[in-house]
Amino acid sequence: MTAKIISGREVAEHILENELSKKVEELKGKNIIPNLVVILVGEMKASASYVAQKEKFAAKAGIKSEVRRFNSEISENEILSEIDKINDDSLIHGVIVQLPLPDHISVAKVLNRIHPSKDVDGFTPNNVGKLFLGEDTLVSCTPKGIMQMLRISGTDLNGKNVTVIGRSNIVGKPVSILCQSENATVTMCHSRTKDLNHKLSDADVIIVAVGVPKFISGDQIPEGAVVIDVGIHNIDGKLCGDVDFDSAKEKASAITPVPGGVGPMTVCALIENTIIAAERINSAWEDSNFWPLASEANALSNWATGAKKDSN
């Protein structure tokens, strides 16, 4: 069997140019321009290139985006007060902090300072909690992009076995919840899982987010499974994923490529979340029941920084 390729790049372009740009036009008709701010600290080459892709996609959908750059010497307090300013600015609808941050800045403290209504990465405890409870929320971008790819490839998860490899807070855990909410039976694997091959043997869908180049190969994939490769690695100038694409495509019925798979869908989901945030913030203003709860964001931040657990 040679797998169908699920092109995230093509799907993302289609969604941006057809669906999202239409929504943006409607909002512009009401004098609302969805506005995303990206906070970039330091000079990491990979971060700069991810940020450039976000700006490109924002332009395609017609939303406003701004990158606020800070040098790596900036203090934690200065970043926190920048986020407070953004939380209080009614013309900004979404904010993300590009990771990684320098070691002297607490990622948990910074992310949890973002007001949940502007948390377009879906990383705050409020939004993660709602996701786990099955409530409507800003869903984190990579899991959201993966679910869109599965839908577009015609993969119905109802009653299917999904094996997720990797339990990170940004990919493995949330995508496993989303698959369960579509009635899949989910097996979560991680660095201490015994007999990974056995856990893969009856999988209809395999989602790999491990961070090890070509970690999964064709001989571990059951004939006809759908394979979603989240990993991205630059090996001697050539990009590859967590799956050995060449051997996997001979066993899978459908597979995402790297590059051009999950990556573009993640950025597309970020743009969509910014548009959703703009719609919700403005309808909340219209109900005039809303305000920027900087104090609420501070309380969440204090709570979350006390609760960091080993996710490896």
| Helix, strand, or coil (residue 246) | helix
Tell me what percent of the chain is helix, strand and coil, each rounded to the nearest 5: 45, 15, 40
309 labelled catalytic: no
Number of Cβ within 10 Å of residue 25's Cβ equals 10
The binder of ligand NAD chosen from 172, 174, 218, 257 (CB under 6 A): 172
The binder of ligand NAD chosen from 21, 47, 180, 193 (CB under 6 A): 193
CA–CA separation, 58 vs 180, rounded Å? 31
98 labelled catalytic: yes
Interacting residues with ligand NAD between 216 and 275 (CB under 6 A): 230-232, 262-263, 266
Decide whether 20 or 209 has the Cβ nearer to ligand NAD.
209
| C-beta of residue 52 within 8 angstroms of C-beta of residue 263 | no
Interacting residues with ligand NAD between 57 and 76 (CB under 6 A): none
Q: Which of 119, 121, 229, 244 is catalytic?
A: 121
Residue whose structure tokens are 């039976």: 185
Q: How far is the CB of 128 from ligand NAD (least distance, A)?
A: 14
Q: How far is the CB of 191 from ligand NAD (least distance, A)?
A: 4
Contacts of 137 (CB under 8 A, 6+ apart): 122, 126, 127, 130, 131
| C-beta of residue 50 within 8 angstroms of C-beta of residue 10 | no
45 by Cβ neighbours in 10 Å (0-12 / 13-18 / 19+) ranks as exposed
53 labelled catalytic: no
Tokens coding 306: 């006390």
Residue whose structure tokens are 């009401």: 30
Site string for ligand NAD, 118-157 (x = CB under 6 A): ------------------------x---------------
Site string for ligand NAD, 12-31 (x = CB under 6 A): --------------------
The binder of ligand NAD chosen from 165, 207, 225, 255 (CB under 6 A): 165
The binder of ligand NAD chosen from 2, 191, 234, 283 (CB under 6 A): 191
| Helix, strand, or coil (residue 265) | helix
Choose the stretch contacting ligand NAD; rule: CB under 6 A; options: 67-75, 205-213, 218-226, 271-279.
Answer: 205-213
The binder of ligand NAD chosen from 39, 170, 268, 277 (CB under 6 A): 170
Decide whether 116 or 263 has the Cβ nearer to ligand NAD.
263
Decide whether 121 or 204 has the Cβ nearer to ligand NAD.
121
99: left (phi over 0), alpha (psi -120 to 50) or beta: beta
Which residues are marked as active site? 54, 98, 121
